[in-house]
Structure 1
Amino acid sequence: MFFLLYFSFSTDIQEVGDYDYQDYIGTNKPALVKFYNPSCPHCFAMADEFWQVTEMFDDVNFVAIDCITHKNLCVNEFNIEKYPSVAIFMPNSLTPIKFEGYMGADEFAKFVKEKTNIEPRKIPKLFYEVTPNNFEAWKDSKKCAVGIFYSSLFEHHKKFLYEARMVAKAFQNEENVTIGIIRCDKFRPLCKPVNDLGYPVAARWTNANYVPFNDMAIANLLVLDINDNCDTHRRIDGFLEENVGRIEAAKPFVKEFIETKDPEERSKIIEKTKEVPGASFYVKVMNRIIKEGDEKIIQTINKMHHMITDPHVNAKNRDFTNKNFNVFKEFYPNYIPPTQNQESNENTANMEQHQSEKSEQKEL
């Protein structure tokens, strides 16, 4: 059983096409781009290596282009002749510099460093490496221990590890979950529990009790299984689920609030919301919307979105902000996060406004 592979499942890799590629290629950052065919076996094998290199750089855009869907873009615009292909685009340039050589994460990292002088960082370990010596301690160490069983002898198992890493990354800061990899070609006795299922495959120990993962080993289903059984609330991208931080009993008042602009009506809604247990943050949001207006609140939501997608932010702070973000989004259900270019333009505008205000103060 294999994980269903999505070439840009990670939020670190932007899937682009004819109309939006310039949001990530030709910007003020270099862009490492993979050109692929969804049915190409070599593309499957390379996907995990490309995903790993996204963990090594912050100041590089990582982009994927499906060259079957966007053939004209790949062939005519960028002169791509084979799949998979990888190329780097320097800042403010739409001219690809093609990668030549073995398609591995370390090789991609060296290529990026050589062209941009940006130093790669070491990838944090997402998996606990399970051996006969530490197996018992590992499966008893947390409420849920999820085992990823695979063989390093088979090239096609790389596509399994590609999504397994995404699941591991999503839960890396969870206190209830540990995810380990078990090499069945090296430690065959450890793989006896899954021999009937075959591998690559995943299995779970909940409170040290073995539970086979009987569904097809698809990343989304594995995330759902962990959430259902391990007291977690994660999405595949590592964000908290949208319901986290929200209060069901407050929803009718949110609906009433956003449907009216009448100040008196909104004041009545706020008073009713105060009576909902645990809804004090909803009251704060309502008061801020009245005081600051929609435009300023959207800027606040953009800042929160930037914070929860910033890999440097402390995990606890990110989750706290994510809960607040979820509540704010209830009031703006059609909210769309800004693209990288929009975010950059907004930051520039804010800096210019700040400098202008400082100049005015000096003149005064």
Structure 2
Amino acid sequence: MRFSFTLSAGLLAFASFVSASNVIDLDPDNFEKFVGGDRPALVEFYAPWCGHCKSLAPTFEQLGDAFPTDKVVIAKTDADGVGRDLGNKYGVKGFPTLKWFPAGSLEPVDYSSGRDLESLANFVTTQSGVKSKIKPPPPPVATQLDAANFDDIALDDNKNVLVAFTAPWCGHCKNLKPTYEKVAKAFLSEPDCVVAQMDADEAQNKPVAAKYDVRSFPTIKFFPKGSKEPIAYSTGRSEQQFIDFLNEHCGTHRSIGGLLSETAGKVLTLDTLASNFFTASLPERPDVLAKAREYIGTLTGGDKKTNASAEYYVKAMERVLEKGEGWLAKEQARIAGLLASPSLAPTKLDELKIKANILTSFAATKAEEAYEAAEGLYNDAVDAAKQVPQQAKDGIDQFADAVQDKAKKVKEEL
């Protein structure tokens, strides 16, 4: 019995520990014990049946844990039950209603900002001067626009800019944010392709939003390089769909995660020459190299990345002539090993990925020819195997015919 009592007491203590909350439950009897005293208070007037109240509940619990209870009161009252009189007294007409009571006052200030933890905590800190225990979120990756810098960035003739016009209270904007941040991160190494965001509900930014006919949130528009007129973004909102759109309109080759795709750095004419080089006989290869050099000489006004890619085709041909075909396999293995390193700078990753892509052009035709040759041998073997039973059958038929002929002759002689 003693063991049972001790176990039961332990379970009760554990249950009390688990259910402990820093959000104070208020009713008319204890209201002024916690509100209007030496601590400011944020009070939620809720109803147990209210769906929005149920959605807010876990966030409000986190808010209660975020502030020291000896400095700030985070409280709630069932304004459709025990706190009905309190709700009537303070003019509560819908649920949930949040009101801020400054220290020493029973005259509240209405709370009308967002219901996410960050917005609630910022409000409490601003009103009370008390810092929360919440770790600040990392700075946004997307370029932040406002009325002061919008034209300098979004209308820059040398940049393509994707702008998401958002509002802090907008649920769809909050859902979009993690994906949009990933897209912004994927294009950090593309200085000409900017992924930006603007709080279009901020008072100073509203005229900019109105100028571009922003009527709902989020509204996403693409400002092409050299144009003052944006293109409405109406594609899907997955990470891949954003990336595909930007690759098409910015001329980039990014993939999810920010790495370059398999097409990055490839030059069609040089791809053909690389294939021809690798399949050519040794005496013919210098001629192909000369054609590649000649082609590079025609590239004028190209960007640095394109020119560097073109030069690498020639460099690879020179290395194969100098060191033999074994250099290609060794170089591919070396680059693959470096690409697997987690410590490489983004610019170095891009450089290596482009080289890896270019080197596949040399082996592509060779591999294709080897595959076709192997496929031909396989088909010949299959045909030969199919012919074996037929050949055996033909031999048996020939033997049977010979026996019949011999029997016929013996019969005639008799």
| Normalised-by-shorter TM-score class | 0.3 to 0.5
- TM-score w.r.t. the length of structure 1 is 0.46
Q: Which has the higher contact order (CA 8 A, sep 6+)?
A: 1
Q: Give the helix-richer structure, 1 or 2.
A: 2
